[in-house]
Structure 1
Amino acid sequence: MNNKGIHSLLPIMLISLLLFVSGCSTTNTSKNTPTTDSATHAQQTDKSATEPASDAKDKLSIMLDWYPNAVHSFIYVAQEKGYFADQGLDVEIQMPADTNDSLKLVAAGKIDLALSYQPQILLARGENIPVRSIAAVVRHPLVHLLTEANGNVSSPKDLDGKTVGYSSIPLYEAMVRTMISEDGGNPDNMNLVDVGFDLIPSLASGQADAIMGGFINHEQLILEKEGHAMSSINPVDYGVPDYYELVLTASEAGIEAKKDQLTRFVKAVQEGQKYVTEHPEEALNILLAHENETSPLDPEIETKSLAILLPLMNEEGQPFGRQEMESWENVRAWLVEQDLIPESVKAEDAFITLQGE
């Protein structure tokens, strides 16, 4: 065929090729893509705009101070009732392997939040661990001097010549010594014995005449259930400052990087605490559903515990979590006096207000 013939066939060949490609494309599209009308498409677009994906939530982690119990109800309620989700948060709740590790883990950025104790925050800062409280959870001491009601100790000065069991913590030694001194006794005359975690058996067996480090919402309730009539002596009545037993803690770097998320966390747990206060039975049921299998909860103990806790956690007319400079100043001054922290530790550096009003 000459060149003229070839050129005359090119337009026909091109048209045929284009028709073939177009046909294949149409066939593949109709085969692999489901047909949707414009209304369905609009619904899908609207849904994606109004329902953000769960992975869009800001992740935060919190480490408890101990195994789950009544004092943590507000956290589990906030999780169960969706208060964290409402604030755009995905919160992971962890238990500590060692109760002494949480502040170090927070400072190292391994976790975002930890439940700790007001004096412990100041002690940590004395060791250059950069942590701060962001909210007060329990506003008054739960650790009391515990004795048997029918024993021979009615006030701290009666510990002269007696044995006091305590749980390895220098803070508790300082507390009982302050109480005895304030009551007119000589703390050097007591026999202070480190019983570790055996506070309950040491008192129940008569090994100790009193224990320091036991909680009125835990050890006291267990001892009473075991048939021991108990007497508790509040350290605040004998020279120990009225400290926040439990506080929410974050690192300085964490507060700077996640201030908005942490503020939303506080708002969510405020809602959680409101629900616990108004529906204590339902709140405890939520807590009990999350008990740790290694530390099962006694519903009777936890019910009594929550009844003790709520008046110490809530402050009429004030937002849950509120903190006062006066409290931090008083605790700091006492710790300095007890040579537990250096003078350089400042109260204003130990806390920040993040709670909503």
Structure 2
Amino acid sequence: MSRLRALAPLGALLLALLLAACGGDGAPAAAPASLAASTASRAPERVTFMAGFTPQANLPFVGVYVAVAKGYFAEQGLEVEVRHSSGQDEHLKLLLAQGIDFTTGTAAQVLRRRADVVPVVAVALFGQRGDQGYVARADSGIKGPADFRGRSVGFKAGVVPAELKAMLASAGLAESDVKLQAVGFDPRVFIEKQVDVYPVFLNNEPDTIRRVGVPITVIDPADFGVLTLGLTFLAHEDTVKQRPQTVERFLRASLRGVQYASEHVDEAVQITLQYAKGADAEHQKFLLETEIAGAKRAGGVGRSDAAQWQSLEQLLRKFGVLEAGKSVAGAYDGSFVDRLYDAQGKLK
């Protein structure tokens, strides 16, 4: 049997998994009566949300999926069209052209865009820690960045990320102390032992790799003092300034969707599968549960503070991702989400 034919079943499984992925009764409280009354008396406002990737159980995606299914947007007087980016930053291009109203992106992407004077604003932060990490074979002896010395370490998209540089620095290593290796998004390069340390999305490839029978050690940069941030909801600066009520209503409904999904994971996965046709339900559940765990914070999901953003900005500047002198002012506005929670961290 040829090597390619032997790998065919593995490739099919990997392809299926990768395409899927990157109160008393548990129901959130209903919208305040005054707001419900004011929105019920007028025609719904049409809003377009474009997820920044293919359909899958990323938490901000699921929040929207569930809010549509449960009627939370309708209660807020919104008629939300859900779309998904086809790649090549389509979602960001459409947001800038105001062809869509809301999308997703990582906190680091927001800072880079603002440094380039692109008018995007993060209005909610879901990933309280970054979503990218690394894996090594369980029998390799690699437990953390100190063990990277002399090993081949992969990186994606042609650029050594700030997180990897910071991890190496935390262990007293320079880039020259490891064998940096550009890799793609197909984990077979790791499964076939072509690289020792493989970059992953923590909510995705670890499950994929384990499910084809490879025991691994997962290395999360946050566990080694490298604190980054994950996915956000993005809006155009003009939307934030000119349509603040729309932003607040979108966030209120979406965060109710997130709360419901957190309390009804299996149901939320089934709702997700209505968008992610043919996706593996167990993999989607792994993805969602990982995202829920990474979004938890005191005061409520979706919130952030200046210290978090400043820490990320400093990291990106230190390792050359953000140029000196370029301002990132206005990159995030947490006031909308802050107003949605009470003093106990519950949605109003």
TM range (shorter): 0.7 to 0.9
Q: Which residue in the other structure is 1:32 paired with?
A: none
- Select 1:124's aligned residue among 113, 122, 142: 113
Contact 2:156 2:184 in 1 (8 A): yes
- Select 1:298's aligned residue among 266, 280, 284: 280
- Select 1:191's aligned residue among 148, 160, 179: 179
User: Which shows bigger deviation, 94-103 or 178-187?
Assistant: 94-103
Normalised TM-score (structure 1): 0.79
Whole-Å separation in 2 of the counterparts to 1:299 and 1:206 = 28
Alpha-carbon deviation of 1:184? 2.0
Report the number of matched residues. Answer: 299
Structure 2 spans left out of the alignment, 5+ residues: 1-37, 342-348
Structure 1 spans left out of the alignment, 5+ residues: 1-48
**SS of equivalent to 1:70:** coil
Task: Please list, as runs of the form range in 1=range in 2, the aligned pairs for 1:79-94 lying within 5 A after superposition.
Answer: 79-94=68-83
- The one-letter amino acid of 1:179's match is M
CA shift in 2, pair 1:169/1:104, >3 Å: farther
Whole-Å separation in 2 of the counterparts to 1:178 and 1:191 = 16
Whole-Å separation in 1 of the counterparts to 2:192 and 2:180 = 16
Contact 1:147 1:153 in 2 (8 A): yes
Whole-Å separation in 1 of the counterparts to 2:141 and 2:89 = 34
- Select 1:312's aligned residue among 271, 294, 306: 294
- The one-letter amino acid of 1:206's match is K
Alpha-carbon deviation of 1:221? 0.3
Whole-Å separation in 1 of the counterparts to 2:89 and 2:286 = 27
Contact 2:52 2:104 in 1 (8 A): yes
Contact 1:159 1:190 in 2 (8 A): yes
Alpha-carbon deviation of 1:113? 1.1
1:330 aligns with 2:311: yes
Alpha-carbon deviation of 1:340? 1.3
- Select 1:96's aligned residue among 85, 91, 94: 85
**SS of equivalent to 1:349:** coil
Normalised TM-score (structure 2): 0.80
CA shift in 2, pair 1:285/1:77, >3 Å: same
- Select 2:103's aligned residue among 92, 114, 118: 114
Whole-Å separation in 1 of the counterparts to 2:73 and 2:88 = 25
- Select 2:232's aligned residue among 231, 240, 247: 247
1:226 aligns with 2:212: yes
Whole-Å separation in 1 of the counterparts to 2:53 and 2:139 = 31
Q: Which residue in the other structure is 1:161 paired with?
A: 150
Alpha-carbon deviation of 1:244? 2.4
Whole-Å separation in 2 of the counterparts to 1:324 and 1:91 = 28
Whole-Å separation in 2 of the counterparts to 1:169 and 1:314 = 32
Whole-Å separation in 1 of the counterparts to 2:294 and 2:204 = 15
**SS of equivalent to 1:128:** coil
Q: Deviations over 1:188-243 (max 9, x none)?
A: 12222222322x1111111111112x1122100000001011111111233422x3
Whole-Å separation in 2 of the counterparts to 1:99 and 1:236 = 28
1:173 aligns with 2:161: yes
Task: Please list, as runs of the form range in 1=range in 2, the aligned pairs for 1:31-110 lying within 5 A after superposition.
Answer: 56-71=43-58, 72-98=61-87, 100-110=89-99
Identity of aligned residues (%): 26
Q: Deviations over 1:59-102 (max 9, x none)?
A: 11112122122222221100000001110111111111115332
Q: Which has the higher contact order (CA 8 A, sep 6+)?
A: 2
Whole-Å separation in 2 of the counterparts to 1:202 and 1:132 = 36
CA shift in 2, pair 1:85/1:344, >3 Å: farther
Q: Cα RMSD (Å) of the superposition?
A: 2.0
Whole-Å separation in 2 of the counterparts to 1:102 and 1:51 = 30
Whole-Å separation in 2 of the counterparts to 1:167 and 1:151 = 21
Whole-Å separation in 1 of the counterparts to 2:54 and 2:261 = 19
Whole-Å separation in 2 of the counterparts to 1:313 and 1:99 = 26
CA shift in 2, pair 1:187/1:239, >3 Å: farther
Contact 1:217 1:309 in 2 (8 A): yes
Whole-Å separation in 1 of the counterparts to 2:133 and 2:192 = 19
Contact 2:50 2:82 in 1 (8 A): yes
Q: Which residue in the other structure is 1:139 paired with?
A: 128
Contact 1:114 1:250 in 2 (8 A): yes
Contact 1:165 1:202 in 2 (8 A): no
1:270 aligns with 2:255: yes
- Select 2:246's aligned residue among 261, 268, 279: 261
Q: Which residue in the other structure is 1:10 paired with?
A: none
Whole-Å separation in 1 of the counterparts to 2:40 and 2:224 = 56
User: Which shows bigger deviation, 302-311 or 258-267?
Assistant: 302-311
Contact 1:328 1:347 in 2 (8 A): no
Whole-Å separation in 1 of the counterparts to 2:87 and 2:71 = 29
Alpha-carbon deviation of 1:150? 1.2
CA shift in 2, pair 1:278/1:315, >3 Å: same
CA shift in 2, pair 1:114/1:231, >3 Å: same
